[in-house]
Structure 1
Amino acid sequence: MAMNLVKLPTGKSNLQLRVSKGHYATSHSHINYYIDVTLTKFRLSEARAAAAELVREYKSTTIVDTILCLDGTEVIGACMASELTKAGYTNMNAHQTIYVVTPEHTTGSQLLFRENTAPMIAGKHVLVLAASVTTGFTVQGAVEAIRYYGGDPVGIASIFASVKECAGYPVASIFDTHDLPDYETYDSHSCPWCRQGKKIDALVNSFGYSSL
């Protein structure tokens, strides 16, 4: 079943917020909006626009050696790395470049870096890039993994965020609850819609949605 997506005005002519209101379940929570960031992640023109918005937070204030991409944000991560390097942005890498890395997930949802990618984390200033930050569970795991592998987390960036801080770091986002003021998220055990007997419309994650 196709989901009815609505494009909300955001004041950003080159970026759109596509949402569908309902009762949705993620792996960590129940939410009242599904935010579709598919085109922002995979359409080059939108990925470039998203990257241009996000790098403003880091161009002159933060050293970034590695961008750790969660939720399929590799295209945006590559565009961010390109923006930062072409601006003459300096970092601590001997090769004066930025690594764009995707973690591997174990069956227990822990983040894993193999011996060939771990050096891109160890001793590096690592920026976490996510599609969204709401409960913060995924980003918290990423920060812990960066530290475990000897890296230094320096910030969190996302397309949408309902929080201003996560894991002790400020969250820079393109869209937030000012763009979606009635956005709500609840633990599955305290979901008011479940208590009202409202059925779940779809299961959602970073790959998309599965209608029920």
Structure 2
Amino acid sequence: MNLFRRVVQLFVGLVLYGVSTALMVESGLGLNPWDVFHQGLSEVTGISFGVVVLLVGVPVLLLWIPLRQRPGFGTVANLVVVGFAADAALRLLPAGESLPAKVGLLVGGILLNGFATGLYIGSRMGPGPRDGLMTGLAGRFPTVSLRVIRTGIELLVLGAGFLLGGTVGVGTIAYAVAIGPLVHLFLPRLTVPDRSRIDLPDTFASR
């Protein structure tokens, strides 16, 4: 039952993550750094946004090899599901026309993204390709803080995406400010307990 819950939670989280990305795209107010890059590549190549998400994930995942990172089932699922879910949602969602509609799409997208992140990470089925790259680099270069590595990667893809025509705006800043607290809120509540761990009663814990 525990495994079934983890798999269901993983796929629900990944689908909702794709939908949340589509909401932010349709807001037109700015995207997170990786999605600025994805959107820029989509604009230049004419390939759909979701397929670009998938295609970019492949070389990112290959970079795990020299970093000695091992993908989990959730890593592969993340690679495939998010992009297709984003494309499906983009076909169904209307673009924001008025400013209130744009703001509503942006806020809804950011909130849903935080919830979806808590779901798929909380399933404990493996990190996404981009998250694994970050943690792999942190393991390879232990003297450099994880925050510095994450910031460096995101500034790199943000700059590249902006030059390619991706949307950078107030939504980019809002996402950067909000996503940490949102994941901090949702993740503890959505993490599936590890049944393999046996918690001893307090009378034995100190022995």
Q: If the length of structure 2 is used for normalisation, what is the TM-score?
A: 0.30
In the superposition, the TM-score normalised over structure 1's length comes to: 0.29
Q: Between Structure 1 and Structure 2, which shows a larger proportion of helix residues?
A: 2
